[in-house]
Amino acid sequence: MKDQIAANAGKFDNPDWTAKGEPRATVALRRPQTLWFNTGTLCNIECANCYIHSSPTNDDLVYITAEEVTAYLDQLEARQWGVEEIGFTGGEPFMNPQMIAMTAAALERGYRVLILTNAMRPMMRPSVQRGLRALQEAHGDRLTLRISLDHFDPDCHDAERGRGSFEASLKGMRWLRDAGIRMDVAGRTLWDETEAQTRDGFAALYAREGFAIDAFDPARTVLFPEMDESVEVPEITTGCWDILNKSPDDVMCASSRMVVKRRGAARPAVLACTLLAYDRAFELGETLAEAERPVSLNHPHCAKFCVLGGASCSA
Protein backbone atom coordinates (compact mmCIF):
# COMPACT_ATOMS: atom_id res chain seq x y z
CA MET A 1 0.00 0.00 0.00
CA LYS A 2 2.85 2.41 0.80
CA ASP A 3 4.37 1.78 -2.65
CA GLN A 4 1.00 2.44 -4.26
CA ILE A 5 0.65 5.73 -2.41
CA ALA A 6 4.16 6.82 -3.41
CA ALA A 7 3.73 5.96 -7.08
CA ASN A 8 0.28 7.51 -7.42
CA ALA A 9 0.42 10.29 -4.84
CA GLY A 10 -2.61 12.55 -5.09
CA LYS A 11 -4.40 10.24 -7.50
CA PHE A 12 -7.43 8.01 -6.97
CA ASP A 13 -8.59 10.02 -3.96
CA ASN A 14 -11.87 11.42 -5.23
CA PRO A 15 -14.49 9.15 -6.81
CA ASP A 16 -15.77 11.98 -9.04
CA TRP A 17 -12.66 13.94 -10.03
CA THR A 18 -9.07 13.13 -10.95
CA ALA A 19 -6.03 14.81 -9.43
CA LYS A 20 -6.03 17.20 -12.41
CA GLY A 21 -9.65 18.17 -11.78
CA GLU A 22 -11.06 16.24 -14.73
CA PRO A 23 -14.28 14.22 -14.44
CA ARG A 24 -13.46 10.63 -13.51
CA ALA A 25 -14.82 7.88 -15.75
CA THR A 26 -17.58 5.65 -14.46
CA VAL A 27 -18.92 2.35 -15.77
CA ALA A 28 -22.55 1.28 -15.65
CA LEU A 29 -23.68 -2.33 -15.33
CA ARG A 30 -25.08 -2.48 -18.86
CA ARG A 31 -24.77 -6.14 -19.81
CA PRO A 32 -24.43 -8.48 -16.82
CA GLN A 33 -22.74 -11.70 -17.92
CA THR A 34 -21.01 -13.17 -14.86
CA LEU A 35 -21.76 -13.24 -11.17
CA TRP A 36 -18.67 -14.21 -9.20
CA PHE A 37 -18.52 -15.75 -5.75
CA ASN A 38 -15.35 -15.62 -3.69
CA THR A 39 -15.41 -18.94 -1.85
CA GLY A 40 -12.96 -17.71 0.83
CA THR A 41 -9.33 -16.54 0.87
CA LEU A 42 -7.89 -19.69 2.45
CA CYS A 43 -5.58 -21.51 0.03
CA ASN A 44 -3.35 -24.55 0.21
CA ILE A 45 -0.36 -22.48 -1.01
CA GLU A 46 0.89 -18.90 -0.74
CA CYS A 47 1.98 -17.37 -4.04
CA ALA A 48 4.57 -14.63 -4.40
CA ASN A 49 2.27 -12.17 -6.18
CA CYS A 50 -1.26 -13.17 -5.20
CA TYR A 51 -3.44 -10.10 -5.69
CA ILE A 52 -5.83 -11.18 -2.93
CA HIS A 53 -3.12 -12.45 -0.53
CA SER A 54 -4.56 -15.95 -0.28
CA SER A 55 -2.71 -18.35 2.00
CA PRO A 56 -3.23 -21.27 4.40
CA THR A 57 -3.88 -18.71 7.18
CA ASN A 58 -5.70 -15.78 5.52
CA ASP A 59 -9.41 -16.01 6.26
CA ASP A 60 -10.23 -12.33 5.81
CA LEU A 61 -12.88 -13.60 3.40
CA VAL A 62 -14.52 -16.61 5.01
CA TYR A 63 -16.18 -19.59 3.35
CA ILE A 64 -19.42 -18.68 1.63
CA THR A 65 -22.15 -21.30 1.91
CA ALA A 66 -24.36 -23.06 -0.61
CA GLU A 67 -27.39 -21.48 1.05
CA GLU A 68 -25.94 -17.99 0.55
CA VAL A 69 -25.05 -18.72 -3.06
CA THR A 70 -28.57 -19.98 -3.70
CA ALA A 71 -30.03 -16.78 -2.25
CA TYR A 72 -28.08 -14.74 -4.81
CA LEU A 73 -29.14 -17.06 -7.62
CA ASP A 74 -32.72 -16.30 -6.54
CA GLN A 75 -31.92 -12.58 -6.74
CA LEU A 76 -30.48 -13.02 -10.23
CA GLU A 77 -33.77 -14.42 -11.41
CA ALA A 78 -35.81 -11.79 -9.59
CA ARG A 79 -33.71 -8.92 -10.98
CA GLN A 80 -33.63 -10.49 -14.49
CA TRP A 81 -29.98 -9.72 -15.02
CA GLY A 82 -29.69 -12.22 -17.85
CA VAL A 83 -26.41 -13.61 -16.50
CA GLU A 84 -25.19 -16.74 -18.28
CA GLU A 85 -22.15 -17.61 -16.17
CA ILE A 86 -21.45 -18.15 -12.47
CA GLY A 87 -17.79 -17.90 -11.49
CA PHE A 88 -16.09 -19.19 -8.34
CA THR A 89 -12.72 -17.90 -7.20
CA GLY A 90 -10.73 -17.84 -3.98
CA GLY A 91 -8.38 -18.55 -2.33
CA GLU A 92 -8.58 -22.08 -3.55
CA PRO A 93 -12.27 -22.84 -4.15
CA PHE A 94 -11.91 -26.54 -3.40
CA MET A 95 -10.83 -25.69 0.15
CA ASN A 96 -14.47 -24.73 0.73
CA PRO A 97 -16.30 -27.88 1.91
CA GLN A 98 -19.49 -26.82 0.06
CA MET A 99 -17.83 -26.22 -3.32
CA ILE A 100 -19.49 -29.14 -5.08
CA ALA A 101 -22.91 -28.20 -3.66
CA MET A 102 -22.51 -24.58 -4.76
CA THR A 103 -21.46 -25.64 -8.25
CA ALA A 104 -24.39 -28.02 -8.50
CA ALA A 105 -26.82 -25.28 -7.44
CA ALA A 106 -25.66 -23.04 -10.30
CA LEU A 107 -25.49 -25.77 -12.93
CA GLU A 108 -28.95 -27.08 -12.06
CA ARG A 109 -30.38 -23.65 -12.87
CA GLY A 110 -28.86 -23.73 -16.33
CA TYR A 111 -25.86 -21.47 -15.78
CA ARG A 112 -22.41 -22.12 -17.14
CA VAL A 113 -19.95 -22.44 -14.26
CA LEU A 114 -16.29 -21.38 -14.22
CA ILE A 115 -14.10 -22.41 -11.28
CA LEU A 116 -10.63 -20.89 -10.84
CA THR A 117 -8.37 -23.48 -9.20
CA ASN A 118 -4.75 -24.52 -8.89
CA ALA A 119 -5.86 -28.16 -9.45
CA MET A 120 -3.72 -29.30 -6.54
CA ARG A 121 -4.46 -31.41 -3.46
CA PRO A 122 -7.81 -29.84 -2.42
CA MET A 123 -9.27 -30.69 -5.85
CA MET A 124 -7.75 -34.16 -5.80
CA ARG A 125 -9.54 -35.35 -2.67
CA PRO A 126 -11.65 -38.45 -3.50
CA SER A 127 -14.90 -36.79 -2.42
CA VAL A 128 -14.24 -33.81 -4.68
CA GLN A 129 -13.26 -36.04 -7.58
CA ARG A 130 -16.52 -37.98 -7.20
CA GLY A 131 -18.46 -34.74 -7.13
CA LEU A 132 -16.74 -33.35 -10.21
CA ARG A 133 -17.29 -36.56 -12.16
CA ALA A 134 -21.00 -36.48 -11.28
CA LEU A 135 -21.31 -32.83 -12.30
CA GLN A 136 -19.55 -33.45 -15.60
CA GLU A 137 -21.76 -36.45 -16.36
CA ALA A 138 -24.89 -34.41 -15.62
CA HIS A 139 -23.89 -31.09 -17.19
CA GLY A 140 -21.01 -31.71 -19.59
CA ASP A 141 -19.08 -28.71 -20.88
CA ARG A 142 -21.22 -26.19 -19.01
CA LEU A 143 -18.64 -26.80 -16.24
CA THR A 144 -15.14 -25.41 -16.84
CA LEU A 145 -12.15 -25.39 -14.50
CA ARG A 146 -9.61 -22.65 -15.24
CA ILE A 147 -6.23 -23.81 -13.98
CA SER A 148 -3.74 -21.30 -12.61
CA LEU A 149 -0.57 -22.21 -14.50
CA ASP A 150 1.60 -19.12 -14.48
CA HIS A 151 4.00 -20.36 -17.16
CA PHE A 152 4.64 -23.41 -19.29
CA ASP A 153 8.12 -23.74 -17.79
CA PRO A 154 8.15 -25.48 -14.39
CA ASP A 155 10.90 -23.27 -12.97
CA CYS A 156 9.05 -20.05 -13.79
CA HIS A 157 5.78 -21.35 -12.38
CA ASP A 158 7.42 -22.70 -9.22
CA ALA A 159 9.19 -19.38 -8.63
CA GLU A 160 5.74 -17.86 -8.11
CA ARG A 161 3.94 -20.72 -6.37
CA GLY A 162 6.56 -22.85 -4.65
CA ARG A 163 8.75 -25.80 -5.53
CA GLY A 164 6.83 -28.75 -6.92
CA SER A 165 3.63 -26.80 -7.52
CA PHE A 166 3.89 -27.07 -11.32
CA GLU A 167 3.97 -30.85 -11.24
CA ALA A 168 1.19 -30.96 -8.65
CA SER A 169 -1.04 -28.82 -10.88
CA LEU A 170 -0.13 -30.89 -13.92
CA LYS A 171 -1.15 -34.04 -12.04
CA GLY A 172 -4.55 -32.48 -11.40
CA MET A 173 -4.86 -31.42 -15.03
CA ARG A 174 -4.11 -34.94 -16.18
CA TRP A 175 -6.88 -36.22 -13.93
CA LEU A 176 -9.30 -33.65 -15.37
CA ARG A 177 -8.25 -34.61 -18.89
CA ASP A 178 -8.93 -38.29 -18.22
CA ALA A 179 -12.25 -37.46 -16.54
CA GLY A 180 -13.36 -35.48 -19.59
CA ILE A 181 -13.79 -32.24 -17.62
CA ARG A 182 -13.34 -29.07 -19.63
CA MET A 183 -10.23 -27.04 -18.75
CA ASP A 184 -8.88 -23.59 -19.49
CA VAL A 185 -5.61 -22.06 -18.25
CA ALA A 186 -4.73 -18.73 -16.65
CA GLY A 187 -1.11 -17.64 -17.13
CA ARG A 188 0.80 -14.42 -16.56
CA THR A 189 2.65 -11.94 -18.76
CA LEU A 190 5.36 -10.99 -16.29
CA TRP A 191 8.02 -12.93 -18.22
CA ASP A 192 10.64 -11.44 -20.55
CA GLU A 193 9.00 -12.78 -23.69
CA THR A 194 6.39 -11.80 -26.24
CA GLU A 195 2.79 -12.95 -26.01
CA ALA A 196 3.37 -15.06 -29.12
CA GLN A 197 6.29 -16.84 -27.43
CA THR A 198 4.20 -17.48 -24.33
CA ARG A 199 1.32 -18.92 -26.34
CA ASP A 200 3.69 -21.08 -28.41
CA GLY A 201 5.11 -22.47 -25.17
CA PHE A 202 1.68 -23.30 -23.79
CA ALA A 203 0.70 -24.88 -27.12
CA ALA A 204 3.70 -27.20 -26.93
CA LEU A 205 2.82 -28.15 -23.35
CA TYR A 206 -0.80 -28.89 -24.26
CA ALA A 207 0.30 -31.02 -27.20
CA ARG A 208 2.67 -33.08 -25.04
CA GLU A 209 0.03 -33.66 -22.39
CA GLY A 210 -2.96 -34.16 -24.68
CA PHE A 211 -4.86 -31.24 -23.12
CA ALA A 212 -7.80 -30.05 -25.24
CA ILE A 213 -7.02 -26.35 -24.67
CA ASP A 214 -6.45 -23.76 -27.38
CA ALA A 215 -3.30 -21.82 -26.54
CA PHE A 216 -4.14 -19.12 -29.10
CA ASP A 217 -7.70 -18.43 -27.93
CA PRO A 218 -7.54 -15.63 -25.31
CA ALA A 219 -10.67 -17.02 -23.66
CA ARG A 220 -9.13 -20.49 -23.25
CA THR A 221 -5.57 -19.49 -22.36
CA VAL A 222 -5.97 -16.22 -20.46
CA LEU A 223 -2.77 -14.21 -19.93
CA PHE A 224 -3.11 -11.72 -17.11
CA PRO A 225 -0.94 -8.61 -16.72
CA GLU A 226 0.85 -8.30 -13.42
CA MET A 227 -0.96 -6.06 -10.94
CA ASP A 228 1.98 -4.12 -9.51
CA GLU A 229 0.56 -1.41 -7.28
CA SER A 230 3.95 0.32 -7.04
CA VAL A 231 3.84 1.37 -10.72
CA GLU A 232 2.48 4.77 -11.63
CA VAL A 233 -0.62 4.61 -13.80
CA PRO A 234 -2.81 7.31 -15.33
CA GLU A 235 -6.28 8.10 -14.09
CA ILE A 236 -9.16 7.36 -16.47
CA THR A 237 -11.30 10.38 -17.33
CA THR A 238 -14.55 10.60 -19.26
CA GLY A 239 -12.50 11.80 -22.24
CA CYS A 240 -10.29 8.71 -22.28
CA TRP A 241 -12.88 6.54 -24.01
CA ASP A 242 -12.58 8.44 -27.29
CA ILE A 243 -8.82 8.91 -26.96
CA LEU A 244 -8.28 5.17 -26.38
CA ASN A 245 -11.04 4.17 -28.83
CA LYS A 246 -12.65 2.07 -26.11
CA SER A 247 -16.12 1.74 -24.68
CA PRO A 248 -17.08 1.58 -21.00
CA ASP A 249 -18.99 -1.58 -21.95
CA ASP A 250 -15.62 -3.32 -22.52
CA VAL A 251 -14.58 -2.94 -18.87
CA MET A 252 -15.17 -5.84 -16.49
CA CYS A 253 -17.47 -3.96 -14.12
CA ALA A 254 -19.90 -3.39 -17.00
CA SER A 255 -20.60 -7.11 -17.08
CA SER A 256 -19.88 -8.63 -13.66
CA ARG A 257 -20.09 -8.34 -9.90
CA MET A 258 -18.57 -10.45 -7.08
CA VAL A 259 -20.09 -11.68 -3.82
CA VAL A 260 -17.82 -12.06 -0.77
CA LYS A 261 -18.31 -12.77 2.90
CA ARG A 262 -16.00 -10.86 5.22
CA ARG A 263 -14.82 -12.37 8.49
CA GLY A 264 -17.25 -11.33 11.21
CA ALA A 265 -19.94 -10.11 8.81
CA ALA A 266 -23.49 -11.32 9.29
CA ARG A 267 -24.18 -11.44 5.57
CA PRO A 268 -22.23 -11.44 2.29
CA ALA A 269 -21.64 -8.24 0.32
CA VAL A 270 -21.55 -7.49 -3.39
CA LEU A 271 -18.42 -5.89 -4.83
CA ALA A 272 -17.86 -4.04 -8.08
CA CYS A 273 -14.83 -6.08 -9.04
CA THR A 274 -13.10 -9.39 -8.46
CA LEU A 275 -9.75 -7.61 -8.06
CA LEU A 276 -10.66 -5.23 -5.25
CA ALA A 277 -11.90 -7.48 -2.49
CA TYR A 278 -10.46 -5.40 0.36
CA ASP A 279 -11.25 -1.88 -0.83
CA ARG A 280 -14.49 -0.89 0.90
CA ALA A 281 -15.03 1.91 -1.63
CA PHE A 282 -15.93 -0.80 -4.14
CA GLU A 283 -18.46 -2.50 -1.87
CA LEU A 284 -21.90 -1.75 -3.32
CA GLY A 285 -24.24 -3.28 -0.74
CA GLU A 286 -25.61 -6.62 0.35
CA THR A 287 -28.05 -7.15 -2.52
CA LEU A 288 -27.87 -7.30 -6.29
CA ALA A 289 -30.35 -4.42 -6.47
CA GLU A 290 -27.86 -2.19 -4.63
CA ALA A 291 -25.06 -3.43 -6.88
CA GLU A 292 -26.71 -2.12 -10.05
CA ARG A 293 -25.32 1.38 -9.59
CA PRO A 294 -22.39 2.65 -11.71
CA VAL A 295 -18.79 2.12 -10.60
CA SER A 296 -16.26 4.95 -10.41
CA LEU A 297 -12.87 3.93 -11.85
CA ASN A 298 -11.04 5.17 -8.78
CA HIS A 299 -8.23 2.62 -8.37
CA PRO A 300 -4.93 1.91 -10.20
CA HIS A 301 -6.18 -1.56 -11.16
CA CYS A 302 -9.09 0.04 -13.03
CA ALA A 303 -6.61 1.75 -15.32
CA LYS A 304 -3.72 -0.70 -15.61
CA PHE A 305 -5.54 -4.02 -15.59
CA CYS A 306 -8.95 -3.32 -17.10
CA VAL A 307 -8.97 -0.19 -19.28
CA LEU A 308 -5.37 -0.15 -20.52
CA GLY A 309 -4.65 -3.87 -20.09
CA GLY A 310 -7.95 -4.99 -21.59
CA ALA A 311 -8.12 -7.95 -19.21
CA SER A 312 -11.19 -9.72 -17.87
CA CYS A 313 -11.66 -12.53 -15.38
CA SER A 314 -14.58 -13.94 -17.34
CA ALA A 315 -14.54 -15.92 -20.56
- Please check the confidence at residue 314 and state whether its pLDDT lies above 80: no
**What is the model's pLDDT at position 233?**
87
Q: How many CB atoms lie within 10 A of CB 57?
A: 9
pLDDT averaged over the chain?
Answer: 93
Rg of the chain, C-alpha, whole Å:
19
pTM comes to 0.93
Q: For 70-127, write each residue's pLDDT tens digit.
A: 999 999 999 999 999 999 999 999 999 999 999 999 999 999 999 999 999 999 999 9
Q: CATH number of the domain that 140 lies in? A: 3.20.20.70
d(C-alpha 100, C-alpha 83), whole Å? 20
Q: Is residue 16 part of a domain?
A: no
**What is the model's pLDDT at position 48?**
86
Q: Is residue 70 part of a domain?
A: yes
Q: Is residue 114 part of a domain?
A: yes
Q: For 248-304, write each residue's pLDDT tens digit.
A: 999 999 999 999 999 999 999 999 999 899 999 999 999 999 999 999 999 988 888
Q: Is residue 263 part of a domain?
A: yes
Q: How many CB atoms lie within 10 A of CB 185?
A: 25
Q: Is residue 236 part of a domain?
A: no
Q: Is residue 52 part of a domain?
A: yes
**What is the model's pLDDT at position 230?**
66
Q: For 131-190, write each residue's pLDDT tens digit.
A: 999 999 999 999 999 999 999 999 999 999 999 999 999 999 999 999 999 999 999 988
Range of the domain at 83: 25-227+246-296
- SS3 string, the chain, reads CHHHHHHCCCCCCCCCECCCCCEECEECCCCCCEEEEECCCECCCCCCCCCCCCECCCCCECCCCHHHHHHHHHHHHHHCCCCCEEEEECCCHHHCCCHHHHHHHHHHCCCEEEEEECCCCCCCCHHHHHHHHHHHHHHHHHEEEEEECCCCCHHHHHHHHCCCHHHHHHHHHHHHHHHCCEEEEEEECCCCCCHHHHHHHHHHHHHHHCCCCCCCCCCCEEEECCCCCCCCCCCCECCHHHHHCCCHHHCHHHCEEEEECECCCCCCEEECCCCCCCCHHHEEECCCCHHHCCEECCCHHHHHHHHCCCCCCCC
**What is the model's pLDDT at position 86?**
98
Q: Is residue 239 part of a domain?
A: no
Q: Is residue 302 part of a domain?
A: no
| Number of structural domains in the chain | 1
Arithmetic mean of pLDDT, 12-16? 93
